[in-house]
């Protein structure tokens, strides 16, 4: 799927006395990265998180292949990148 370049918008919020800058371009980067290995429509993010949680909690199949685990692990990595870059403290 082709994306139109997003207009980078920042939102400044205050939480518990600290000021944070929320960068919308990080959200666009996250969506583009996730789309390379999974569907990003509807509740696909929720389904992916539930699948990962169920796999870890239930150890549903100890012989699960990397073909199955790969997209789940990539998703976790992208969530980590998103969360680390999404909000920066601008004290």
Contact 11, 22 (CB under 8 A): yes
pTM summary value: 0.62
Q: What is the pLDDT of residues 29-62, one digit of tens each?
A: 888 999 999 888 888 888 888 888 887 777 766 7
Structural domain spans, the chain:
10-89
Tokens 């169920």, located at residue? 54
Longest dimension (CA), the chain: 48
Task: Give the pLDDT mean for 54-81.
Answer: 79
């Amino acid at each position: 799927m082709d994306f139109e370049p997003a207009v980078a918008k920042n939102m400044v919020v205050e939480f518990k006395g600290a000021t944070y800058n929320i960068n919308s371009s990080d959200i666009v980067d996250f969506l583009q990265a996730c789309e390379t290995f999974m569907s990003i429509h509807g509740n696909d993010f929720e389904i992916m998180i539930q699948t990962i949680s169920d796999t870890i909690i239930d150890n549903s199949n100890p012989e699960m292949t990397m073909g199955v685990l790969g997209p789940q692990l990539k998703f976790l990595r992208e969530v980590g990148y998103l969360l680390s870059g999404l909000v920066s403290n601008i004290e």
